[in-house]
Amino acid sequence: MAGHRIEVEAKYEVAVQGGADRYLVAPDLGPFTPDGPVRSVRMEDRYVDTPDWALSRAGYAARIRRTGHSFEIGLKSVAGGGGKLQRREEIDGPADANLNPHGWPKSQARSRVLDICGHSELVEILTVRQLRRVRDLRSESGRAELSLDEVEVIAGGLAIDAFEVLEVELKKGDEAALTALSELLDGDKALRSVVSSKLERAARAARNAMPSLPADLQDIWRDAPDNPFEGKPQPAVGAAVTREAAPALAAASAEPASEPARSAQPAPKPPVDPAAPRSSSAAIGVLPEDSMPEAARKVLAYHFAKMQKREAGARSGDNAEDLHDMRVATRRLRAAWRVFDGAFKAGKTKKIRRHLETVADRLGAVRDLDVLIEGLQDYSTGLNPDQRPGLEPIDTLWRRQRNAARAQLISELDSPAYEAFITEMELFLQAGANAAATVGSPTTPHRVRDQAASRLWAAYEAVRAYEQVLPWADVETLHDLRITTKWLRYTLEFLGETMGPDASLALQRTVALQDHLGSLNDADVAAKLARDVLVARAGELSKTEADSIGAYLHSREREVARRRRALGPVWRAVSGAPFRRALGRATAAL
């Protein structure tokens, strides 16, 4: 079973700094001899779980590992087995920096996460950074990997622990050779054999450091189960466990092919465009040497074509994704005018921008109601059949409003004004340089290479300015932060392909923050609209209807509170120094 194995290893904490370095260069280690040079790799593991610790309670530790520019989701069973050697089920697969597993490539690890978590969000509980020095070993009966890890534990942006760990993992062959090596290491006073994982030690450090952690992270750890990553010993697996044999051992826990069933009260659906962070502007063809008007023209032409491609589907209404994609395209068209502000003569764009706003508003009115209706449907699936009729008044109201909004949208798309907008936009894009603003002199900054960095940093500064008010921010302020974050996202999308590879990571973390704030806003809007129905129709609703709509209102209010509590990790992923360093490296490539 690809991506699924039983990990067998011996583990030691290094009691004396530098006391294990000699094992990396030793000519022989018991039955093993070195098989290649020492190599080093830096890794960052972000350990994640749901706010109610669903993965831990199910017996797993989940980490998103970054090595270089790639990301991997790894699940390990928290049970380690008895004796000198530890055994853990391990499942891994490709991922990205986003904490939305629906957007990860399909894998067994992704399926297992979705099976356990359903539509619940993931939050970062702590980060483990490692400098790993590795050497391959070989014996007559198999292969192993020796690694010496310098570990730093980060929680809430604070370094809370540091230590060294020596590990030897069996890659192939009989366990007898690994047992013999562990007996040799047991005699070294600089080493201390441990059966706990790095994560268990990191969790203890997080508990000890709780008074110093941000309030939202303290809340998460207060809700943690006792000893969240300490599993009960598993039965011995046998004397010849290998990676190649793992499929047979793990067959009983094979991944089901289906998506997870919804819980009794599921959270709203994840964003319908989870691939957005990876849909970079590479297809647009913006170059560092382009003038800003030329870069803007490329961005506008790209998204104008996408808008037109989705128009027929948006008109028919057969697939809600067509309308969603057309709305996304109009949003990016409007954003391009702002990101490339000053690139064109104002008189050449005013009329086009005004009509584009009308089209976007008509699409948005329909899409917003689609989201409300879909969220209500998800909620109702978790109710008993006799409870669902109580939601009919609000469902009927929103569907009636959606039909009215669709009628206005179709009227707009059929109007002479919309036809004129399409023609004017086409002529504008063809005009190219004729519509560009005048450049004062050859020394006036006018290329993407000249202006991209300052525009990106200005967009980031606007986001970071919320840092001082965020601990006390109300929902309206968080909505403003979402809008500000969106402009940072669009700036990265439009100009990112001209920058270094770190721009992709910055984009992913920005999208994660925007999506989190968007889900919070969706829940708040649904709660307010449900309350409006209860107030406006107080004398008309039956008790069953009032109770059902009231329960839905409370569920959305709880969702708002939950999103606010879980905001810290996704915010710090953007506000922290690692993000700023990534932006610095990205803009340095211009």
Q: What is the pLDDT of residues 201-222, one digit of tens each?
A: 888 888 888 887 888 888 889 8
Q: With bands split at pLDDT 50, 70 and 90, how would you rate the model's confidence at 237? A: very low
Give the torsion through C-alpha atoms of 580, 581, 586, 587, to 10 deg: 70
DSSP string of 196-246, one letter each residue: S-HHHHHHHHHHHTGGGS-HHHHHHHHTSPSSTT-PPPPPP--S---TTTH
Select the more confidently predicted residue: 233 or 123: 123
| Cut 0.75: pTM above it | no
Pairing type for strands 39-49 and 60-67 reads: antiparallel
Among the residue ranges 25-34, 204-213, 225-234, 508-517, the one predicted with the least confidence is 225-234
143 and 172 Cβ atoms separated by less than 8 Å: yes
Q: What is the pLDDT of residue 365?
A: 95
Per-residue pLDDT tens digits for 477-533 = 999 999 999 999 999 999 998 998 889 889 989 999 999 999 999 999 999 999 999
Q: Residue 131 pairs with which residues in a beta bridge?
A: 42, 150
Q: If pLDDT is split at 50, 70 and 90, which confidence band does 560 have?
A: very high
Hey, what amino acid is at 249?
Answer: L
Alpha-carbon distance of 579 to 306, in angstroms, equals 31
pLDDT at 254 over 70: no
CB 137 within 8 A of CB 32: yes
Closest to 303 measured CA to CA, from 271, 330, 279, 274: 330
Nearest by Cα to 509 from 590, 452, 576: 576
CATH class for the region spanning 4-231: mainly beta
- 195 pLDDT tier (thresholds 50, 70, 90): confident
Give the per-residue pLDDT at 196. Answer: 77
Q: What's the whole-number mean pLDDT along residues 104-108?
A: 89
The CATH architecture that domain 312-435 belongs to is Alpha solenoid (1.40)
221 contact partners, CB below 8 Å, separation of at least 6: 125, 206, 207, 210, 213
pLDDT at 253 over 60: no
Greatest Cα-to-Cα distance within the chain, rounded to the nearest angstrom:
86
pLDDT of residue 550: 93
Closest CA to 127 of 161, 89, 166: 161
pLDDT tens digit sequence for 41-92: 888 899 999 998 989 888 888 999 876 667 899 988 875 555 567 677 788 8
Q: Tell me: pLDDT of 458 over 90.
A: yes
Q: How confident is the model at residue 274 (pLDDT cuts 50, 70, 90)?
A: very low
pLDDT at position 397: 95
Confidence of residue 259 (pLDDT cuts 50, 70, 90): very low
List residues bridging with 75 in a β-sheet.
Answer: 62, 91
The C-alpha atoms of residue 275 and residue 508 are separated, in whole angstroms, by: 10
pLDDT band (50, 70, 90) for residue 8: confident
Tokens of 539: 């004398």
Q: What is the pLDDT of residue 272?
A: 34
Return the pLDDT at 267: 37
Higher pLDDT, 24 or 254: 24
| Alpha-carbon gap, residue 325 to 313, rounded angstroms | 10
Token code pair at residue 573: 């992923």
pLDDT at position 238: 33
Using 50, 70 and 90 to split pLDDT, how confident is the model at 27? confident
Domain with CATH 1.40.20.10 in the chain: 283-290+447-590, 312-435
pLDDT-derived band of residue 436, with 50, 70 and 90 as boundaries? low
Looking at residues 298-313, what average pLDDT do you find? Answer: 91
Considering the chain, what percentage of its residues have pLDDT values greater than 90?
42
Average pLDDT over residues 236-261: 33
CATH number for 283-290+447-590: choose from 1.40.20.10, 2.60.120.10, 2.102.10.10, 3.40.50.1970: 1.40.20.10
Distances (CA, A) of 155 to 161, 337, 356, 547: 10, 39, 45, 41
- 238 vs 542, higher pLDDT: 542
- For residue 582 the two structure tokens come to 């990534």
Categorize the per-residue pLDDT at 398 as very low, low, confident or very high, splitting at 50, 70 and 90: very high
Choose the most confident range, by mean pLDDT, from 130-144, 266-280, 379-393, 408-422: 408-422
Residue 138: how many CA atoms within 13 Å on its side-chain side?
5
More confident position, 226 or 307: 307
Chain region(s) in the chain for CATH 2.40.320.10: 4-231
Res. 24 pLDDT band, cuts 50 70 90: confident
CA 373, CA 112: separation in Å to the nearest integer? Answer: 28
What value does the mean pLDDT of the chain take?
A: 83
pLDDT at 344 over 90: no
Euclidean distance between CA atoms 404 and 398, whole angstroms: 10
Q: In the Cβ-directed half-sphere of 450, how many Cα atoms lie within 13 Å?
A: 13
Residues 296, 344: Cα–Cα separation, whole Å: 9
Does residue 447 sit in helix, strand or coil? strand
Whether the pLDDT of residue 431 is over 50: the answer is yes
Among the residue ranges 172-181, 185-194, 434-443, 447-456, the one predicted with the least confidence is 434-443
Amino acid 271: pLDDT: 36
Report the distance separating Cα 553 and Cα 525, nearest Å: 10
Q: Inform me whether the pLDDT recorded for 396 exceeds 80.
A: yes
Q: How far is Cα 233 from Cα 240, in angstroms, rounded to an integer?
A: 19
What's the rounded Cα separation, in Å, for the pair 514 and 519?
9
| Residue 547 neighbours by CB under 8 Å, 6+ apart | 390
